[in-house]
Amino acid sequence: MAETDYPRQNPHRVGVRGLCPRCGQGHMFKGFLTLKPRCEVCGLDYSYADPADGPAFFAMTFACLPSAFFGVWLEAAYQAPYWVHLFTTFPIMLVTLLPPLRPLKGWLVASQYCHKAAEARLSRPGDDAPKVDWVD
């Protein structure tokens, strides 16, 4: 099946659920955050995907940061001993950080596919020498 035979998938819907961004049926993860080499349904090669630290950045910024503020407030308001932080702040940080990592990574990988995001190149494929737009 050619790539044009697949209907365009919404990267938010398929990515958050961990489904293939091309066919919307296959699964893109083989573990918690490890991508499969390719989709088991349509054969899409996931080697293009490089979300880097994006999922961790978004999870820390929007989920873990409020729990860190909770820990600071707890310390400032009650001068809680370390063991209180170990049993309150630390679990709250883990619960707010870990669950969004997989959906965020799936969304970023699906967005890379849907928007045809690729690594920047100085030359076109087939060019002998890279073209430079500036003069030294």
**What number of helices (H) and strands (E) belong to the chain?**
6, 0
Distance CA 134, CA 127 (A): 18
Domain ranges of the chain: 7-114
Question: Using CB atoms within 10 A of its CB, is residue 41 exposed (0-12), middle (13-18) or buried (19+)?
Answer: middle
Task: Tokens for 88, please give them.
Answer: 């309150």
Beta carbons of 110 and 11 less than 8 angstroms apart: yes
Distance CA 21, CA 15 (A): 7
Query: What pLDDT, in 10s, does the model give residues 2-45?
Result: 556 899 999 999 999 999 999 999 999 999 999 999 999 999 99
Residue type, 26: G
Q: What is the pTM of this model?
A: 0.80
CB neighbourhood size of 98 (10 A): 14
Residue 2 phi/psi, 5-degree rounding, is -75, 160
Beta carbons of 66 and 72 less than 8 angstroms apart: no
Query: What pLDDT, in 10s, does the model give residues 56-109?
Result: 999 988 888 899 999 999 999 999 999 999 999 999 999 999 999 999 999 999
